[in-house]
Structures are given as structure tokens and as C-alpha cells.
Chain A
Amino acid sequence: MTMIFGVPLAVFMGQLLLGLINGAFYALLSLGLAVIFGLLKIVNFAHGAQYMLGAFVALLGSRYLGLDYWLALLLVPLVVGGFGMLIERLLLRRIAHLDHLYGLLLTFGLALIFEGALINLFGVSGASYPIPEALQGGVNLGFMFLPIYRGWVLVAALAVCLFTWFMIERTRLGAYLRAGTENPALMQAFGVNVPLLITLTYGFGVALAAFAGVLAAPLYPVSPTMGSSLLIVVFAVVVIGGMGSILGAVLTGLAMGLIEGLTKVYYPEAANTVIFLVMILVLLLRPAGLFGKEA
């Protein structure tokens, strides 16, 4: 059997694919963060909690309302995104003129409140969300057994990332958004409702997190703490990619998934730290991040 650094080729390929799937999650989550930071300059520490809310709303929806997975994938981001817009309208807007630090503290506080409240109600053991029937089972790829659901996660996450990039970089609405954050006063003078644009953008970023949450629900136990452990990694990804760079967030997310996947084979003890090592290296060599523009 062909070996790559002492690991059979088949195992190596399998690990690359799994790394890519995890990377797609990182990409989706860091994309939301990057959109919110790039356009609104808010460091959204509630992103992990909003991802968790996405999974929870899907779970509770299926338990009490019989909401099916495909509808949840559509509706849950709308519900949680709408909730995000409320947060922007009622809280974040009031501190928009202050230093970034206030936004960071506010969203961090909100994250702790959501998490704490759900821990009190449901505990931390979590509950399982069934894999939809159409995506059950797996295919034998020759080098590994791939559960169909994981393949679907990769496809869905990449499609949404591509859609978002297209929306922001290639459409008129995206152009308004970018212009609105560059010079809000001028845009307002042209008759564009900038505050509404900001609310919608925050809502969209939150909806992306919730979408990732619904995608994750059948994979991991749905528990109130599922977001906080992921959030730190996702922030590292955003820092590596360059704060605010949309394409950077997506590519870095995928790359970090791969690097983490390989670490799990060669030195699993370091799997939780390798991304932070990369972050330190990048900050030393390119402080603005791989895809960021020097300030």
C-alpha cells in the first residue's frame, strides 16, 4: 500500500476529505463574522451563540412543531436572523458611535446570557437531532466510508459561501452595502436608507450562523455549549484570513480545516492548538492577515 509519511494513502485521503468538511463549517461561520465586521465594524462575539440558537431552534421546532429538516434549513435562519436584527436595532445601534470594544463586550454578554439560560433549561448533555431520511447512510469511496450527510454539508456550505461572495462583490445591493459602510453620510444623501441596510446586514450575518447551526444539528449533540468552543477557533480563522476579508475568510476556513485534519493524524494531542500556532505565525509575518489590506 502507498504510504504518505507513514500513513496509508487511503487513510490520508480520508483525513483530507474530513478536514475539508470541517473547513466548510469554519468557512461558513467565519464568513458571517467577516461580513459583520467588514461592513459594520462590529466584533460579533455572539456568533457562536447564534450558531447554537440555530441548532436549538431546529431541534425544538422538530420536537414541538414537527418542523422537518428542509423547512428548518430555510426557516430557522430567517427566525434567528430576525432576532439578530432586533438585537442590532435595540442594542447595537445605541453604541455604534463608541469604540469597537463596547460592541464586543455587549455581544459577549449576550452570548453568555443565551448560553446560561439554555443550560439552565436543558443542561449540557445535549440532545440528538435525526439525520433527514434522504441523507441517511453512506457511500464507499474506496478509500473511506463517507456518510452522505457529511458530503451534503460540504456542498451546501460551499454553495452558500459562493452565493454570499457573489451578493456582496457582484450585485448592486452589495455595492450599496460596501459604499454605505465606506461613507454613510454620502449614501444617505443619495437617498439610500443606510440604517436599514446595516440592520439587514447584521441579520444576514446572524442568519449565516444559524444556517451553520442547522447543518451541524444532525452531526453533533445539540447542546448550549456547542457554539462557545467553536467561536474561538472561528475567530482565529478570521484573524488569519484578515479581518473583514470575505474571500479570505472562506479560503482560510477551508485551509484551516485541512491543517487541523492532518494534525489529527500525525499529532492528535495538538489538534486543538494547531490553528492558534498558525495564527501566531501569520500575525508575526503578516499582521493584517493573509488576505487583509494593510491599514
Chain B
Amino acid sequence: MTLTKKCLASSIALATALAAGGAQAEISDDAVRIGYLADMSGTYRDLAGPGGLAALEMAVEDFGGSVNGTPIEVFSADDRNSADVGANTVREWVDQRNVDMVAGMVASSVTIAVTQVLEQYDKLGLVSGSAASSITNEHCTPNHIHWVYDTYPLANGTARAVVDQGGSDWFMLTADYAFGHALEGDVEKVVTENGGSIVGRVRHPFPTSDFSSYILQAQGSGAQIVGLANAGADTVNAINTASQFGLTQSGQQLAGLLVFLNDVHAMGLDATQGLLLTTGWYWNMDDQAREWSERYYERVGRMPTMVQAGIYSSTMHYLNAVEATGSDDTATVREHMMSQPIHDFFARNGHIRADGRMVHDMYLAQVKTPEQSEGEWDLYHILATIPANQAYRPLAESQCDLVQN
């Protein structure tokens, strides 16, 4: 009798536990928790930073603030462009705040450190700000997706266009860290494959304010094209210094490989007109993009960069996947995100590949002249669309373990 009772009691307990367990596997800890990690105060602040957090919050609000009745929580931290700070912050978020997804992520060195932490704890990362193509190549994990752009299409778009116009001898000015090295490698590949050559290079510390010495070395190299494999304030400083030292007057041409809208806005059209660049998105490229950007402008007071728009787009896609699967489990959500094509105000012909790369149409743009510009933020002409399936590194060349070659 007691035995039966015990049996009955334990089976009820087991059933309850199972039921509870089942509920837990859906959305953990009664909230979807999104951590936003970015440079909030340094060199890369204006391309993502607080403006990226605003885009993320817009996505959460537009989604209704909850998924199937479960609230969405957003918190943020400044990684100060330090891999250590970034990795420790995310570890703390996992340990103490039960974070489900980490968004933002700018400096590539930080992202590579953070994605290792995410893999260790099996949480999801949606990388929007970083550039290094290695993030979904040798550093790919089943725990992150890379959204907006990477160095491969930057090289493929801008460098190819420049070589096609006859610029075959290049001097590379490279930021001395993961992103700069990745971009330099991708550019070198495109340039040599198209019949050009790299005649000289210099790797400058990150960040650098005085570029005069490097510009002088570039002038001495005799190269036709000076490629800037850097970003943010470094690119701005390099372009300004080049114009002071008369680099373009002496017959050389600059190729800015990663130039953001805020950089062009800061330097002004006088210094940047005619510059070729590759971008993942531009606020004024069509009606859909414009409509979203105007809402963003009202909230933030600046037009969004491609990274800020990408943060909204990726967060929306994530929340849709959480809603559709009723789960915030990493593998479940990532699988669903990969099964759905992405076609919104940001991404055209987008889908997520096995290596975690979200491929979508990219654009070759040229900076307008002051006469052509009709307003403070009217800065680019879109010259050509680089189709999604041609823009990014082909899976056949991938070194990612998730891809079977």
C-alpha cells in the first residue's frame, strides 16, 4: 500500500517536473533578454553606439514589447573596444542576468572574443557592427549570425571597381588588428586576381590621430591607389591628412574601403566628394528605407548608418523567430531564422547561410559633390547593386567547420 502510494506520489512529482521542464524549454525565465554590447564612448560610437541601442529599442517597441505575452527586456553596456571588457560583460550577463541574445558588437577583436563566450554558454549573438570576414570564416560558431556587411564585399565591391577603372598599383594603409588584417587580405586577393598588385603597405596602431608620416610613406611608394583598410576616426584622420599633403593633387587616388555615413557627414562633402565605397544599406536608397529612416531621425536626430538599420532588422528577425517557435533556445531560434528569407526595409534577397553569414544585396556608392547634395544627409549616389549571391565569400572557399566542403 505504502509502496503504491509512494509510486503514485513520485509519478505525480515526475509529471509535474516534466510539465515544468517543458514550459522552461519554451521561453526561459519568463522573459526574452537582449543585451546590447557596443562601443558607446570611443572611436566607433557614432556608427553604432547609443544610436544602435535606439534602433534596437524601436524594434522591440514595434514588435509590441512582448513575445506571446512574455516581456522583452533590453539592457546595454559599453565594451570600450576592449576584447576583455566585452567578454567579461557577456559572461556576467549570462551568469547574473540570463541573457538570451547579444546584439550590436562593433570592433572585430571584441566580437571574436565574445562569440567564443557565447559558444561556451550556448547563447545567441547577432553581430551587426563588425567587419572582419573571419567572423563567419575561421572564427564561425553555431552561436552567432553576422548581419550587415563584412570585409569580403567591401573589397569585392570597392577594390574591384577601382581596379576596373585602371587603378592597379596599390599601397595599403592598414589598422593593426583583426579587422584591418582581414580587410587587407581580402583586398589583396581581389586586386591581384584582377591583375593589379600591392606595391607597399604600412600597419598603423589602432587608434592613430596623426597620419602624416604614413601619408608621406604612401606618397613615396609611387602607388596609384592608396587603400585605407581602417575605419571610423582613423579613416577620417587619414583622408583629412591626405588632403592636406596634396595626395590627390600629386596624382594618387584614395580608396576608402570601410566608410560609414557618419564619417562622410563629419568630414563634409568638400573633403570626400567622389569617394567610392561599398555599403550594405543607405537610408535614402528607396521608399521603404526612407520611411523607416525618417521615423529613426525623429527619435535620434541623426540619419541611421547601415549598422544601426541592421540592428533593427536583425532584432526583428530574431523576435519573429522566437514568436514562431515559442522558444528562446539558441539552436531552435537560429535554425528557424536560417529557414526564413529576409526581405525588409534593410535587407534585399537576404538569407542566412550555414556559416552564420546573412548574405544580402550590397551597393557600390559614390559620395556626392557639394553641388549635387540637397540636404545635410543627402550624401551618396548608389551606382550599382552587388547581388547577394556574388557579394560574399562563396561557401566553397569557406574554412568554417559548420560548412561541409
Q: Which residues of A contact B (CB under 8 A)?
A: 8, 10-11, 14-15, 18-19, 21-22, 116, 119, 123-128, 131, 138, 144-145, 147, 149-150, 219-221, 223, 225-226, 229-230, 261, 264-265, 268-273
Residue B377 interfacial (CB < 8 Å): no
23 contacts between A and B (CB under 8 A): A10-B220, A11-B220, A14-B216, A19-B213, A22-B210, A119-B41, A124-B42, A124-B43, A125-B265, A125-B266, A128-B271, A138-B246, A147-B244, A220-B209, A221-B233, A225-B41, A225-B42, A225-B43, A268-B202, A268-B203, A268-B205, A268-B213, A269-B176
> Once the chains bind, are B205 and A272 in contact (CB under 8 Å)?
yes
Closest Cβ of chain B to A131, distance in Å, is 8
* Nearest residue, chain B, Cβ from A131: B244
Contacts of A124 on B, CB cut-off 8 Å? 41-43, 45-46, 233
> Once the chains bind, are B245 and A264 in contact (CB under 8 Å)?
no
Contacts A11-B220, A221-B266 known; A125 to B204 CB distance under 8 Å?
Answer: no
Closest Cβ of chain A to B153, distance in Å, is 24
Q: Which residues of B contact A (CB under 8 A)?
A: 41-43, 45-46, 176, 202-205, 207-210, 212-214, 216-217, 219-220, 233, 236-237, 240, 244-246, 250, 262-263, 265-268, 271
> Once the chains bind, are B268 and A15 in contact (CB under 8 Å)?
no
Per the bound structure, the CA–CA distance linking A128 and B209 in Å amounts to 14
> Once the chains bind, are A127 and B245 in contact (CB under 8 Å)?
no
> Once the chains bind, are A127 and B266 in contact (CB under 8 Å)?
yes
Contacts of B209 on A, CB cut-off 8 Å? 220, 226, 229-230
> Once the chains bind, are A271 and B46 in contact (CB under 8 Å)?
no
Contacts of B41 on A, CB cut-off 8 Å? 116, 119, 124, 225
Closest Cβ of chain A to B188, distance in Å, is 18
Closest Cβ of chain B to A68, distance in Å, is 19
A10, A18, A128, A264, most chain B CB atoms within 10 A:
A264
> Once the chains bind, are B216 and A15 in contact (CB under 8 Å)?
yes
Closest Cβ of chain B to A14, distance in Å, is 5
* Nearest residue, chain A, Cβ from B202: A268
B205, B237, B268, most chain A CB atoms within 10 A:
B205
> Once the chains bind, are A11 and B45 in contact (CB under 8 Å)?
no
> Once the chains bind, are B217 and A11 in contact (CB under 8 Å)?
yes
Contacts of A126 on B, CB cut-off 8 Å? 233, 236, 266
Contacts of A123 on B, CB cut-off 8 Å? 45-46, 262
> Once the chains bind, are B240 and A221 in contact (CB under 8 Å)?
yes
Partner of A271, one of B208, B245, B268: B208
> Once the chains bind, are B220 and A128 in contact (CB under 8 Å)?
no
Contacts A123-B46, A128-B268, A269-B205 known; A223 to B233 CB distance under 8 Å?
Answer: yes
Closest Cβ of chain A to B49, distance in Å, is 8
* Nearest residue, chain B, Cβ from A257: B210
* Nearest residue, chain A, Cβ from B247: A145
Partner of A145, one of B207, B210, B246, B267: B246
Contacts A124-B41, A126-B236, A221-B233 known; A268 to B214 CB distance under 8 Å?
Answer: yes
Per the bound structure, the CA–CA distance linking A271 and B175 in Å amounts to 12
Per the bound structure, the CA–CA distance linking A273 and B250 in Å amounts to 32
> Once the chains bind, are B233 and A265 in contact (CB under 8 Å)?
no
Per the bound structure, the CA–CA distance linking A245 and B62 in Å amounts to 62
> Once the chains bind, are A261 and B236 in contact (CB under 8 Å)?
no
> Once the chains bind, are A18 and B233 in contact (CB under 8 Å)?
no
Contacts of B43 on A, CB cut-off 8 Å? 124, 225
In order of increasing CB-CB distance, the 8 nearest A-B pairs are A125-B266, A264-B213, A272-B205, A125-B46, A124-B45, A147-B244, A11-B220, A123-B46
Contacts A128-B267, A272-B208 known; A147 to B216 CB distance under 8 Å?
Answer: no
> Once the chains bind, are A18 and B212 in contact (CB under 8 Å)?
yes
